[in-house]
Amino acid sequence: MSGALKPVLADLSVGDVIGTRSIEVDRARLVRYAGASGDFNPIHWNDTFAEQVGLPGVIAHGMFTMGAAVALVEDWAGDPGAVVDYQTRFTRPVAVPNPGTATVEVTGTVGVIDADAGTVRIDLTVTFEGARVLGKSQAVVRL
């Protein structure tokens, strides 16, 4: 958030959209994430294997999708350490074509403001091809 002001709790209202983001996912990004995370499950790199276990093809790591989505909140807050809780459910896979990219759409909305605790809950809507891929995705931010 170079030069941007950090959000102020008193200026927020339930329903405010804090931002939106499109995340482009390609096979190279999956390879880099596998190396960083140590998750080399073949469903994330081998189409034949992924299809044999009933998937539409190679899918993005759920933890990658979860982490990429919350980056919207971290950037808005101006500090990743301000996110004091983050929870989600994985609801659908993100199929990543070869060649090509999958686009995950993220929208963050103020869900709850707790003035006494100095926190705000940001509800994330995370979709791929119009369907939610993360359910009940919520981050609590201390401002």
State if pTM tops 0.95. no
- pLDDT at position 137, please? 98
Would residue 104 count as lying in a domain?
yes
- pLDDT at position 3, please? 53
With H, G, I as helix, E, B as strand and everything else as coil, classify residue 72: helix
Confidence of residue 1 (pLDDT cuts 50, 70, 90): very low
CATH number reported for the structural domain that contains residue 53 in this entry: 3.10.129.10
Would residue 54 count as lying in a domain?
yes
- pLDDT at position 4, please? 67
Would residue 2 count as lying in a domain?
no
Would residue 137 count as lying in a domain?
yes
Domain range enclosing 116: 9-142
pLDDT, tens only, 81-140: 999 999 999 999 999 999 999 999 999 999 999 999 999 999 999 999 999 999 999 999
Would residue 50 count as lying in a domain?
yes
Lowest mean pLDDT among 2-16, 29-43, 78-92: 2-16
Structural Rg of the chain based on CA atoms: 17
Shortest CA distance to 31 belongs to which of 45, 20, 17, 42?
45
Indicate the number of domains in the chain: 1
Whether the predicted pLDDT of 2 surpasses 60: no
Would residue 4 count as lying in a domain?
no
Dihedral pair phi/psi, residue 6, rounded to 5°: -75, 150
Q: How far apart are CA 98 and CA 84, in angstroms?
A: 37
